[in-house]
Amino acid sequence: MIREQLLSGIGIAIFIGLILLQFVNYALENLKWRLILPELNQLTFLKTQKAVYAGNAIAILTPDRLGTFIGRFSYLKEYSKSRITLSTFVGNYAQLVTTLLFSLIGMVLAWNMNFTFQFPENLGINILIICMIVICCIAIFIFYNQQTAIDLLKRSKRKYAKEMTERFKFMDHLTTSKHHFILSTAILRYTTFVSQFYLALILFGADVSLIWTIAFCGILYLFSTIIPSPFMGNLGTREAVGVYLVSPLGLEEPVILASLFIWLINVVLPSLLGGLILLKK
């Protein structure tokens, strides 16, 4: 049945849509990075897009995709390694804040609409919602007050503080409105993930709604983010968490297939493209 679904006209259209959304996903990541590090605007969008893909080529080889910045400054050798590293970190943090926010939204939806997800014993959804409200408030406060930490560094007379201040100087332009734009781009990128997962679930025969998928992805990405993975591109972690969450619903097979398919499109394919870009460089 799944094979017939994949080879049908709708299946082929969904497959093409998933591939196109992958390019949208990384174009948004590129836009977010350019908003954070304005000197990148001296380069064409295509050039920095190649650097983003180059980052994926290295990231897949490192635990939890921590090596993204290595691929980026390996491609853009003429730019400061520290600035590329720090700006990548700021962009990743914006994506983390978005993940936390949508995790809270997912839990509220699951609680309000009585979606049946499996949770660890003694860890009810009510407790999780309260914890997530506190965590989200702290995460948002830190995101919008990064400049405060830099100002404190500037006041210090220690040598290392002066060096760190110079490295963080590129963040002086990050006003509140710029933070809004960066976070909005991260949110658009997250909605791209959710759209892909929803389409992949439909492709593999799951009869689920978009609201259910938003709730499921919110909880899934939260646990996938906080649980470290030793495998390439976090392979295995999301699949295991997804199966655990939907075990009462009997959706294990479509969740595993959809998750692996998204992994191939969003991790393996961009990493192969990035590897070709680095080899050509």
Which of 222, 236, 262, 256 lies closest to 106 in space, CA to CA? 222
pLDDT (0 to 100) of residue 123: 67
The tens digit of pLDDT for each residue in 215-272 reads: 999 999 988 888 766 666 566 778 888 888 888 888 889 999 999 999 999 999 999 9
pTM of the entire structure? 0.89
pLDDT for 55 equals: 93
Q: Give the pLDDT of residue 61.
A: 81
Both structure tokens of 202: 């439909």
SS3 per residue for 204-241: CCCCCCHHHHHHHHHHHHHHHHHCCCCCHHHCCHHHHH
Residue 229: φ, ψ to 5°: -130, 130
**Domain regions of the chain by residue span:** 2-280
pLDDT along the chain (281 residues), means of 10: 61 91 97 93 95 92 79 89 89 95 94 81 78 95 82 66 68 85 97 96 90 94 79 72 84 90 93 93 76
pLDDT of residue 182: 96
Question: Which pLDDT belongs to residue 99?
Answer: 96
